[in-house]
Amino acid sequence: MGWEAVGHPLAYWRRLVREGVQEGERNNTIASLTGHLLWHGVDPAVVLDLLLAWNATRCRPPLSEDEVARAVESIVRLHRRQEEREEKL
């Protein structure tokens, strides 16, 4: 299955990263971006650093760093559980 077969089109991700989001969309968007980056093999520590920077510059208003870290860690845990299940198949 190729990357073009799942999820949002590339233009969606580019727009999100460039334009950012407003209050009410921040947590879900950070979770979505985290999952997208993890699915593409980006190291979880790098994902956190990227999303902290994106939050500070593109979220209006920004979330606290702790809230971003909690959201990223939650998706990292889900991603790891999914990988473990796939390895058992």
Contact between residue 18 and residue 55 where contact means Cβ atoms under 8 Å apart: no
Per residue in 13-27, pLDDT tens? 999 999 999 999 999
pLDDT confidence tier of residue 2, bands split at 50, 70 and 90: very low
pLDDT confidence tier of residue 6, bands split at 50, 70 and 90: low
Q: How many helices (H) and strands (E) does the chain have?
A: 4, 2
Task: Label residue 1 by pLDDT band (50, 70, 90).
Answer: very low
Q: For 35, what's the count of Cα atoms within 13 Å in the CB-facing half-sphere?
A: 15
